[in-house]
Structure 1
Amino acid sequence: MTGPLVVLVGPMGVGKSTVGAILAERLGVTCRDTDRDVAEQAGKSVSDLFLEEGEPHFRELERAAVAAALSEHRGVLALGGGAVLAEETRALLAGRPVVFLEMGLTEAVKRVGLDAPRPLLVINPRQQWRRLMEERRPLYTEVARVVVSTEDRTPDQVADEILTALQLPSTQPEKQQ
Structure 2
Amino acid sequence: MSRPAGPERGPVVVLCGPMGSGKSAVGGELARRWGVSLRDTDQDIVEATGRTIPELFAADGEPAFRDLEQRTVVQALSTHDGVLSLGGGAVASEVTRAALADYVARGGRVVFLDVDAEIAMDRVGGDTNRPLLGDDPRRRWEALATQRRPLYLEVCTHHVRTGRRSLARAASVVEQRLTGS
TM superposition score normalised by structure 1: 0.91
Work out whether residues 16 and 23 of structure 2, in 8 Å CA contact, stay in contact via their aligned partners in 1.
yes
Letter aligned with residue 45 of structure 2: V
Q: Offset at 1:81?
A: 0.4
Q: Deviations over 1:106-151 (max 9, x none)?
A: 1112111x23211001132111111101110110011111111111
Letter aligned with residue 93 of structure 1: L
CA distance in 1: counterparts of 2:127 and 2:43, whole angstroms: 17
CA distance in 2: counterparts of 1:100 and 1:143, whole angstroms: 8
- Given the alignment of the two structures, is residue 98 of structure 1 paired with residue 110 of structure 2, yes or no? yes
Alignment of 1:74-113 (within 5 A): 74-94=81-101, 95=104, 96-112=108-124
Letter aligned with residue 51 of structure 2: K
- Residue 63 (structure 1) aligns with: 70
Q: Offset at 1:16?
A: 0.8
CA distance in 2: counterparts of 1:93 and 1:65, whole angstroms: 13
- Residue 29 (structure 2) aligns with: 22
- Residue 155 (structure 1) aligns with: 167
Letter aligned with residue 90 of structure 1: R
Letter aligned with residue 126 of structure 2: D
CA distance in 2: counterparts of 1:156 and 1:168, whole angstroms: 18
Match of 1:53 among 50, 53, 60: 60
How many residue pairs get matched?
A: 168
Q: Offset at 1:168?
A: 8.0
Letter aligned with residue 21 of structure 1: G
- Residue 3 (structure 2) aligns with: none
Match of 1:132 among 128, 141, 144: 144
- Residue 172 (structure 1) aligns with: none
TM superposition score normalised by structure 2: 0.89
Work out whether residues 23 and 113 of structure 2, in 8 Å CA contact, stay in contact via their aligned partners in 1.
yes
Work out whether residues 20 and 121 of structure 2, in 8 Å CA contact, stay in contact via their aligned partners in 1.
no
Flag as ranges the 4+ runs of structure 1 deviating above 3 A.
none
Letter aligned with residue 34 of structure 1: T
RMSD: 1.3
Q: Offset at 1:12?
A: 1.1
- Given the alignment of the two structures, is residue 38 of structure 1 paired with residue 45 of structure 2, yes or no? yes
- The runs of 5 or more residues in structure 1 that have no matched partner are 170-177
Letter aligned with residue 47 of structure 2: E
Percent identity between the two aligned chains: 49
Work out whether residues 24 and 85 of structure 2, in 8 Å CA contact, stay in contact via their aligned partners in 1.
yes
- Residue 175 (structure 1) aligns with: none
